[in-house]
Structures are given as C-alpha cells and as structure tokens.
C-alpha cells in the first residue's frame, strides 16, 4: 500500500485550515457586546450626579475584555472585512464606555476605530488597490520622517509649508518628531522639573502667620530614576519636561496686546526683590507656554505630585505646589576645558510655571479640581535668576562660600537673599543644587 498517496497541500490554507468564519464572527460580536455594555453603563454614569466607583470599574473591565475579544476575532480571520468592521465598532463603543477622565485611552480607542474601519475598506478592496494604498501610506509616513529631519531652520520653503500644514500634526500625534532634533543641528538645552510642596501645618501663635512644611521634588532625578542599565526610566521621565518647554518668548507676542504690557508692568514692580538676569536678553526672560500646556499639562503634573506625596486627601487639600522648569544650558567646549563646572547652578535658568492647589469644583459638588492659586502672580512664566558670584573667604554672611545667589529659593520660600545665602542646602529647606549632578 502506498502511504504517500494523495496530493500535497498547495497553499497555507490547505496545510493549516483557518478557523471557521462563524467562530470569528461570534467572537467579534461578543467583543462588540462587551463594549456596548460598557457604553450603556457610561450612559447610566452620565445620568448620575456622583456615580459609584464600582460602576466605573465595571466599565473599564467590560471595555478591556471587549477590546481583547474583538482583537482576537481579527487575528482569527484577518482576511474577512467584517472582522475589521466589528473591531472598529467595538472600539467606537469603547470610547463611550471609558470614564471621562480616561481621556488618553479614549483617544487611543478612536484611533483603533479608525484603524479598524481602514482595515475593513482595505480588505474589501481589490488586490491592486490594496497594494497601492499600503504603498501610499508607507511613502507618506517616511516622507514625514524625512521632513522632520530637515525642518530645523534654516530649512527649504517647501519643507516649511508641507511640514507645518500636513506632517506636523501627524508626527506629533504618533510622537515621531521629537528625537530627530536632539543632536542636529542644534539640540538646545535640556530641562528638569522642580516642585516645592507647601503643606499648611497651622498658625504661628505670636505672629498669626500660617506655618508650612515644605518638600522639594525633582523630576527626573539621578540616580533614583536610573532603574535599568540603559537609563530608560530616567530618559522617559526626562521627556516629561519637554512637554512643558513648548512656548514663546515675550517678544513673540504682539506689542500692542494689553496682557503683555500688564505682564511686564507686574514684573517690573518685583525687580527689587527678584532682579532680572544680568546676562540674558530681557526679552527672552518671559516664556509663555502654549495653551495646552497651561490648561492641561501643568495642572496634571501638579495634581500628580501633590497626590503622590500627600498621605491622604485631607493633607492634599492643605497642600500647594510651586512648579519650576530648570533649563540647563550646555557648557561650551572652550569653557569646559578652562575648568568651568557644567553643573554650576549658574548654568540653570529656572522659569516659574505657577503655584497650584486643589479648590472646590463648582460644577461637581463635593469634588475638587486643581488650578492656579494666583493667575496674576508677578513672576508667572518669568525667569527666576541664579546669579554667579565670587564667594568671600571668612564671610559670616556666607558660611558655605556659595558661588551663586539662589533666587529660586528666594522666590519659592519667600526668603531674603541673605537668608538663602546663610542656609545649609543639606538641611533640605532651600534647594539643594548638588542633587542635579
């Protein structure tokens, strides 16, 4: 008897038959049902003034299970357009199923819904259209990367127009443009974020003034955030600082705007307490962040730092945080060869980004929200200088022979320059500049 009788399989589908279409269809419909249930619970939560936490937890689990199940349907039969369509429907329903404060995941699910819809159209198209569409997408993507590398000035007119009008929103969305500017042609200064937490502890019985407990927080911080050999955790935290560095110098604003005039007037009145930086151009000492940074990013960072360092909600309600972005200027090769310290406090440019605290939310009784304590603060978005100075030997007013005047601590702690000069940085009250090395 010939054991090798019979024809050999002529295609992968004959060698390993794909799952039955009914199995993939049922799996996809189950995923849609889970996400639809989450969306229904979302409507219930929207109708309630204060939905219970268990309701939001149930919505999250339903969306998670539904998304995984719908994705499994696509993996079972990626050759069927309706599995992609079911995945797109599940993702769209998942948007309604996610709680409102999960806004980043809502954006992700909108993107997944778009991918599912595009996949359905692509699979349903003739093979020639598929090849052409995929080729166009690949060409579009890599053209954007090429333009990102040529966009730093001076750049060609065509690059400016196409990059700003077409590719910048796309590359910003997929986060594929930032790293191309790190090294060429001019990487620019890096930054760290410094937070001063102020927790009210009571009132001085003699002066009647409020008393505070203070704590400095630095993000990122070495060596605490270097948790792996490549420093990946550190550099991911370093990228957080880049999110708040987007903005415009003062002269980028139209000179006839009253707000700019008012900003400069308020800063001028504080020059005796906190002087301008004696070296930097005065017009560049005011950095107004972009609206998305002031409205969303900074409050989010401030809220995270307060909640991360407060043991309970009551303490968080008594705590405010001052936020500073310390721009670190790179020491030139010539200055480094001469012996200049690349981590000298004078190489940092602290910009004050505001003081934030929790206040009652008028739109949600019983809830709180994070916002600026004083939107009219005189030094808001201004450079707080750290001015180099030659230390005097045996000066009782400078026992630690500091080679700088630290106006960051002056501003953050409402101290005088003399008090900051006399303070021991290791005690933890004034800012300890050695932790940035």
pLDDT of residue 13: 61
Q: Judge if 232 and 272 occupy the same domain.
A: yes
Per-residue model confidence (pLDDT) at position 235: 80
pLDDT for 238? 81
Other CB atoms within 10 Å distance of the CB of residue 134: 11
Is 6 domain-assigned? no
Instruction: Specify the number of domains making up the chain.
Output: 3
Q: Dihedrals φ, ψ of 138, to 5°?
A: -65, -45
226 with 166, same domain: the answer is: no
Contact in structure between 25 and 82 (CB atoms under 8 Å): yes
108 and 39 inside one domain: yes
Instruction: For residue range 171-201, list pLDDT tens digits in order.
Output: 877 777 665 555 555 666 888 999 999 999 8
pLDDT for the residue numbered 391 = 86
Please report whether residue 5 resides in a domain. Answer: no
Residues with pLDDT less than 50, the chain: 1, 251-252, 255, 258
pLDDT at 1: 46
**Beta pairing, strands 247-249 & 210-219:** unpaired
Final residue belonging to a domain, choices 81, 97, 124: 124
Q: Do 320 and 417 sit in the same domain of this protein?
A: yes
pLDDT, residue 258, reads 46
- pLDDT at residue 94, as a whole number: 94
Helices (H), 343-405: none
59 and 162 share one domain: no
User: In terms of domains, do 256 and 277 share one?
Assistant: yes
The reply to whether 394 and 419 lie within a common domain is yes
pLDDT, position 283: 79
Please indicate, yes or no, whether residues 158 and 262 belong to a single structural domain of this protein. Answer: no
User: Is 278 in contact with 375 (CB distance < 8 Å)?
Assistant: no
């Amino acid at each position: 008897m010939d054991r090798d009788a019979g024809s050999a399989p002529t295609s992968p589908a004959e060698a390993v038959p794909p799952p039955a279409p009914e199995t993939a269809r049922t799996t996809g419909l189950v995923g849609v049902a889970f996400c639809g249930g989450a969306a229904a619970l979302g409507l219930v939560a929207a109708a309630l003034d204060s939905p219970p936490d268990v309701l939001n937890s149930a919505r999250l689990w339903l969306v998670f299970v539904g998304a995984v199940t719908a994705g499994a349907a696509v993996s079972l039969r990626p050759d069927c357009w309706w599995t992609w369509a079911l995945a797109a429907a599940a993702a769209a329903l998942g948007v309604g199923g996610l709680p409102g404060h999960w806004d980043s995941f809502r954006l992700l699910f909108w993107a997944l819904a778009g991918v599912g819809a595009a996949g359905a159209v692509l699979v349903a198209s003739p093979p020639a259209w598929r090849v052409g569409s995929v080729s166009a997408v690949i060409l579009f993507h890599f053209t954007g990367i090429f333009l990102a590398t040529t966009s730093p000035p001076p750049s060609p007119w065509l690059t400016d127009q196409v990059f700003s009008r077409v590719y910048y929103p796309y590359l910003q969305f997929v986060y594929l443009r930032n790293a191309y500017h790190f090294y060429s042609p001019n990487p620019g200064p890096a930054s760290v974020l410094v937070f001063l937490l102020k927790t009210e502890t009571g009132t001085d019985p003699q002066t009647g003034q409020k008393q505070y407990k203070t704590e400095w927080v630095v993000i990122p911080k070495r060596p605490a955030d270097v948790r792996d050999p490549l420093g990946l955790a550190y550099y991911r935290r370093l990228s957080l600082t880049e999110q708040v560095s987007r903005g415009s110098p003062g002269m980028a604003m139209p000179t006839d705007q009253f707000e700019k005039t008012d900003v400069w007037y308020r800063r001028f009145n504080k020059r005796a307490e906190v002087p301008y930086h004696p070296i930097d151009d005065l017009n560049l000492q005011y950095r107004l962040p972009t609206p998305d940074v002031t409205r969303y990013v900074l409050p989010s960072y401030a809220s995270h730092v307060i909640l991360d360092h407060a043991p309970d909600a009551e303490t968080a309600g008594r705590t405010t945080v001052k936020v500073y972005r310390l721009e670190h200027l790179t020491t030139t090769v010539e200055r480094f060869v001469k012996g200049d310290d690349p981590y000298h406090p004078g190489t940092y440019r602290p910009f004050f980004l505001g003081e934030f605290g929790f206040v009652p939310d008028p739109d949600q009784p019983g809830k709180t929200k994070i916002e600026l304590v004083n939107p009219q603060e005189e030094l808001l978005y201004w450079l707080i200088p750290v001015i180099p100075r030659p230390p005097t030997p045996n000066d009782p007013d400078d026992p630690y022979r500091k080679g700088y005047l630290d106006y960051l601590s002056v501003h953050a702690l409402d101290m005088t320059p003399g008090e900051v000069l006399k303070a021991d940085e290791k005690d933890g009250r004034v800012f300890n500049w050695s932790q940035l090395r």
